[in-house]
């Protein structure tokens, strides 16, 4: 086996990285939206998933997609996102 082959990801590794990325994005969204610590945001994701009897990644994906839809709608309307640092729009 050549070195370049050793660094290729298997489909399972690729899926695992995608799962982690979506969960990290959703965690960050919850942190920003509700001013939570990373641990508290992740615990919130786990709670949401458990309460709905859904996989964690499905809940995380839903949160990320909601934010993406909202941002896309704002972009189409020409509306700027709120500037949270200064409390202005």
- pLDDT tens, position by position, for the chain (89 residues)? 455 555 677 777 777 788 899 999 999 999 999 999 999 999 999 999 999 999 999 999 999 999 998 877 766 766 665 555 434 43
- Residue 64's region, left for phi above 0, alpha for psi from -120 to 50, else beta, is alpha
Count of residues making up the chain: 89
pLDDT (0 to 100) of residue 10: 79
Whether the CB-CB separation of 17 and 8 falls below 8 Å is answered with no
In our burial notation (b when 16+ CB lie closer than 10 A, e otherwise), range 25-62 reads bbbebbbeeeeeeeeebbebbeebbeeeeeebbebbbe
pLDDT (0 to 100) of residue 5: 58
Q: How far apart are the first and last CA of the chain?
A: 56
pLDDT (0 to 100) of residue 85: 47
pLDDT (0 to 100) of residue 18: 82
């Amino acid at each position: 086996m050549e070195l370049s082959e050793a660094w290729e990801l298997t489909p399972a590794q690729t899926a695992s990285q995608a799962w982690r990325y979506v969960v990290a994005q959703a965690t960050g969204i919850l942190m920003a939206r509700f001013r939570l610590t990373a641990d508290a945001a992740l615990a919130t994701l786990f709670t949401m998933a458990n309460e709905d009897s859904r996989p964690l990644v499905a809940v995380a994906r839903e949160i990320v997609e909601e934010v993406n839809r909202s941002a896309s709608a704002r972009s189409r309307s020409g509306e700027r996102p709120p500037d949270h640092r200064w409390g202005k729009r």
